[in-house]
Amino acid sequence: MSKPSHTATWQGYLRPDGRKGVRNLVLVVYTVECAHHVAAKIAEGEQDTHVIGFPGCYDNQYAVNLMLALARHPNVGAVLAVGLGCEYTRPDKLAEVVAQSGRPSDWFRIQQVGGTRSAIERGKQRVRTMLAQIREQTPRVDMGLKDLTVGCECGGSDGTSGLAGNPTVGAFFDRLVDAGGTAVFEETIEMIGLKAIMLARAATDEARDQIDAAYEKAVRYCQAVRQYSVSPGNFAGGLTTIEEKSMGAFAKSGARPIQGVIKVAQSPPAPGLWLLDSVPDEHFMQFGYTNPNDTEGLMDLIAAGSQIILFVTGRGSVIGSPIAPLIKVTGNSATYRRMEEDMDFDAGRVLSGEMTLDQAADELTQLVACTAAGEPSKPETLGHREYFIMYKHQDTPPLQVGCRL
Amino acid sequence: MPTRCFRIHPQDNVATLLDDGSPGPAEVLGHTGPDRLDLVETIELGHKVALYDIAEGEAIVKYGVSIGRATAAIAAGRWVHLHNCTSRFDERSQTLDVRTGATTDTRYE
């Protein structure tokens, strides 16, 4: 049987670092909540212009790393950084690093260019100029599955997620990896109780040690914050324990060996299947929260360079994402029918006997290829561009550094 | 059409409902084991039914792994959830409403 979707090629956008994008976007980045409104107004009504930003006035290395990874994402062609003028995070430095990556970039501080209206007007001019520039100048290039990094997380899970939604993505991930592409899954706090199963999937001894460390940290984290990653909706949907939810969530990783563990804002150093550790490290600010909502986790997957992300839901969800198109998969056909305007893929057909898991994975592969070729996903069409960048620490400085006590 | 439920692994002592089920005969799909079962109570899609009589303290097995422990004896055909199954890790979930999952330990006052 021929499987044309696995060998599909389409036209992508070549970035100076050699990575290939499936969209050609201008990204507006604000560096404090005070600049949020201006940034949103700059992007409003502009084509192919997305917004992200960080609300805090005190800067945070994790958040800066994350913003820089997103600003140099393969789907992003140019960046405008907008600050207020008082905050620690520096829009000038963001723009400088983006420029070093070979992308057009600009920045300003609102306090220095007038006020709200003048800042919006200036921002819009810059966005339009840069968009015209990247549309004209970005080289088009052939792309296939081997050039794709795809991330997956699940949210609003129910009893069908582990039976159909996540296994379908797992079978797709196997196809992506076999084609030479890169797959990223995360949520180590949803792998509680599965240590032996995860370690058995390690590609190398080094990967095994990395998985072991990430797992143990996730357990310590959940104990420290006295909260496991399971929600009222999960219980209402039939999941009874975190162990049960974990087994279902882990099914999205498919069956290929895990090459290693990356942290937030890192890209996988080689193709294959990778585990993303987004759990905060122990720190003098304490752990904080790891994935306070689904959007936060999606940002991590995009920052790993995923040009497309998959979101598996059972109960239903309406979120989308900036930068990388989000494809929504549900294993629950009733949810698909009820929320068809938001759902891209009904993996529940595997449970009704309408198709096999392999057929579902082939169809999903085709959908990913079509989306990569430019076909908008449903969340994209609906205008969903949710983002969330928070304070977090994935480094542990000596406790005495920073303040005179 | 009888209610359908799915057994994922041969060692599982629970199956997941593929339809909303009411008391009466149900069909067990998936891996080997009993292919019929009588539901003795209403169980919603996505929830679990005991395939055998399970003793208090026994492991609840799904995907071939222990996903928790029975906190009471569970007869075959009964609903397995927060009221009779507990995590080896998570304590808070035991305080949630068994039907809706709603919190009962956060103060709204």
- Alpha-carbon distances, residue A240 vs A13, A154, A216 (angstroms): 45, 17, 22
Q: B45, A193: Cβ pair inside 8 Å?
A: no
Cβ pair A236:B81 closer than 8 A: no
Chain A residues in contact with B44 by the CB 8 A cut-off are 238
- Contact at CB, A234 and B86, closer than 8 angstroms: no
Instruction: Respond yes or no on whether ipTM tops 0.85.
Output: yes
Contact: B67, A247; criterion CB under 8 Å: yes
- Cβ pair B81:A240 closer than 8 A: yes
Interface residues of chain A, partner chain B, Cβ below 8 Å: 158-160, 162-163, 192-194, 197, 219, 222, 226-228, 230-244, 247-248, 314, 332, 334, 351-352
Residue A61: other Cβ atoms inside 10 A: 13
Measure the CA–CA gap between B27 and B6, rounded to whole angstroms: 8
Going residue by residue through chain A, which has 405 residues, state the pLDDT in tens, using 9 for 90 and above. 344 456 789 999 999 999 999 999 999 999 999 999 999 999 999 999 999 999 999 999 999 999 999 999 999 999 999 999 999 999 999 999 999 999 999 999 999 999 999 999 999 999 999 999 999 999 999 999 999 999 999 888 888 999 999 999 999 999 999 999 999 999 899 999 999 999 999 999 999 999 999 999 999 999 888 888 888 989 999 999 999 999 999 999 999 999 999 999 999 999 999 999 999 988 766 777 777 899 999 999 999 999 999 999 999 999 999 999 999 999 999 999 999 999 999 999 998 889 999 999 999 999 999 999 999 999 999 999 999 998 888 876 665 666 665
Do B28 and B17 touch, CB atoms closer than 8 A?
Answer: no
**Nearest-CA distance from B52 to chain A in Å?**
18
Q: Do A240 and B80 touch (CB under 8 A)?
A: yes
**CB distance B90–A230 less than 8 Å?**
yes
Residue B80 with chain A: CB contacts under 8 Å: 240
Entry pTM: 0.90
Mutate to test the interface with A, among B1, B31, B65, B100 (most CBs of A within 10 A): B65
DSSP code of residue A146: G
Q: Residue A292 phi/psi, 5° resolution? A: -65, -20
Range A179-218 burial, b when 16+ CB lie within 10 A, else e: bebbbbbbbbbbbbbbeeebeebbbeeebbebbeebbebb
At A36 the three-state DSSP class reads helix
Cα A367 to chain centroid, rounded: 18
How far apart, in whole angstroms, are the C-alpha atoms of residue B14 and residue B81?
A: 11
